[in-house]
Amino acid sequence: MMTLGIGLMMFPALMICIFIGFPVAFSLMGVAVAFGYYRFGDVLVHQLVAKVDDVASYYVLSAVPLFIFMGCLLERSGIAEKLFEAIHLFTRKLPGGLAIGTVLLCVIFAAASGVVGAAEAVVGMLVISVMLRHGYDKGLISGTICAGGSLGTIIPPSVVVVILSPIAGVGVGNLFVGIMLPGLLLAGLYIVYIVGRCTIWPEDGPVLPPPEVEPTIIEKLEIIVTSLLPLGMLIFSVLGTIMLGWATPTEAAAMGAAGTIVLTIIYRTFSFAILQESFLKTLQITAMILTILLGGMMFAGVFVALGGISSVRNAFEAASLGVWSTMLIFMAITFIAGFVLEFISIMIIIVPVAMAVMRSMGVDDVWYSIMFLVVIQTSYLTPPMAPAIFYLRGISPPEIRLADMYRGVVPFIILHFVCLGLIMAFPDLALKLPQMLFDYVPKGTPG
């Protein structure tokens, strides 16, 4: 009983370390070492060395630097301008056409790179001045860019999914294809909201006047082919090969990284300076992610050894809560944690406990993981620690205030809960593609 109590004390100790300013990775490692050494003594060293070996030998994690490299290189390649011009041909006559084009551009960038934040930075710098010039509401501008940038969390190939896979113990291929429909559904909800809002209040997103010189059909086709076709081939080289079973996620990531270099050469934006800068940024981000992941694995290992998961499971059983109630409690904890923690910390702290409890209740791993990803994406938008708002503040002009950003993300956060509710009500949104493509057999969903 005393050991169980020690395990549960790890979470308050971790929160104290984070709130007083220690880096998340070192907070996780420090708490794990302190509690583990107090209970197990020198034996702890063997357990922690085993965790280091687990992280170092987990094959799927080698996809992380490759996807990050794709995002870094695409961010600096100048491809976004050409792509936005092609998308704009289809959206300019719609209410809120610039905002709709922004969402579509973010979807394509998310599918091409899988890196959260890269799309927001590139697209934001491209469209903010254009939207302001045409009188778009500042809250709509902010919310669209923040929400669109967050789609990299839930549209494959997402780096977040690659990180979640070993933590949750769920196959990355099943997660990749499982999040596709929910990701597109969420993007569709964004577009429906933008069209509806700008139809009711046209001043928020006015229809643009026709151009002085309308491009000919041939010119439009040339723009579409030169902008969309190469990037579409890049997306197929990653997602298509995974879905068709031609390549593992890691192999597809390698193809995507090589394809991104080829794409920058085709667009004549390649340079060794850009390549070097992309390599350095990839190294920095990968080192940060893997260090946090290692700390989380160490923390989770000691927590399990101290009987922490058994304590949590027993507490839920003693409370006689049903499956839905337990699931909603974990979702609420994840959402609240998003106010103060970034998404990797949330996954590492909450997922091992939540997955163990939900598995014991017979809930399908893939279905629950995808719902968790939707809530994680919501945390990307929720202040005060909202990374999406931090990115936007770094690239937005002074006339877009922080209050505009906070006001702008609220409707999109609500849309996330609509999407979450639909996945809960219709599990096939998350499970149909894994069943069709990989013969996945769901373990069950609450009746």
What tens-digit pLDDT sequence spans the chain (447 residues)? 444 567 778 878 887 887 787 887 788 888 888 888 887 887 778 777 877 777 777 777 777 788 778 877 876 766 777 777 778 778 888 899 999 999 998 888 888 766 666 667 777 777 888 889 888 999 999 999 989 888 888 888 788 888 888 888 888 888 988 999 999 999 999 999 999 999 999 999 888 877 766 777 787 777 777 777 777 888 888 878 877 778 877 888 888 888 888 888 887 888 888 888 888 888 887 887 788 778 877 887 787 777 766 677 677 667 777 888 889 988 988 888 777 666 777 787 788 888 888 888 888 999 999 999 999 888 878 876 677 787 787 778 888 888 898 899 999 999 999 999 999 999 999 999 999 888 888 876 665
Widest Cα–Cα separation across the chain: 78
Contacts of 55 (CB under 8 A, 6+ apart): 61, 166, 290, 293, 294, 297
Give the pLDDT score at 119: 67
Could you tell me if residue 31 is inside a domain? no
Could you tell me if residue 4 is inside a domain? no
Could you tell me if residue 157 is inside a domain? yes
Could you tell me if residue 36 is inside a domain? no
Give the pLDDT score at 1: 43
Contact (CB, 8 A) for 442 and 431: yes
Q: Is the dihedral of CA 223, 228, 231, 232 positive or negative?
A: negative
Tell me the helix, strand and coil percentages in the chain, rounded to 5: 80, 0, 20
Instruction: Classify residue 209 by burial, with Cβ atoms within 10 Å: 0-12, 13-18, 19+.
Output: exposed
Q: Which two tokens stand for residue 351?
A: 């997922």
Give the pLDDT score at 115: 66
Give the pLDDT score at 372: 92
Q: Which two tokens stand for residue 429?
A: 């949104």
- Which among 154, 102, 145 is positioned nearest to 377, based on CA atoms? 154
**Domains identified in the chain, total number:** 1
Q: Which domain holds residue 389?
A: 45-438
Q: What is the dihedral of CA 200, 202, 208, 209, to 10 degrees?
A: 110
Amino acid at the residue 79? I
Residue 230: Cβ within 10 Å count: 18
Contact (CB, 8 A) for 190 and 148: yes
Treating both helix axes as pointing N-terminal to C-terminal, what angle do 343-360 and 365-379 enclose, rounded to 10 degrees? 150
Give the pLDDT score at 222: 78
Could you tell me if residue 368 is inside a domain? yes
Give the pLDDT score at 2: 46
Q: Which two tokens stand for residue 184?
A: 């597109």
Give the pLDDT score at 409: 92
Could you tell me if residue 13 is inside a domain? no
Could you tell me if residue 24 is inside a domain? no
Give the pTM.
0.81
3-state secondary structure of 208: coil
Give the pLDDT score at 91: 85
Q: How far apart are CA 237 and CA 226, in angstroms?
A: 17
Give the pLDDT score at 212: 67
Could you tell me if residue 206 is inside a domain? yes
Element (H, E) at 120: helix 118-133
Give the pLDDT score at 188: 95
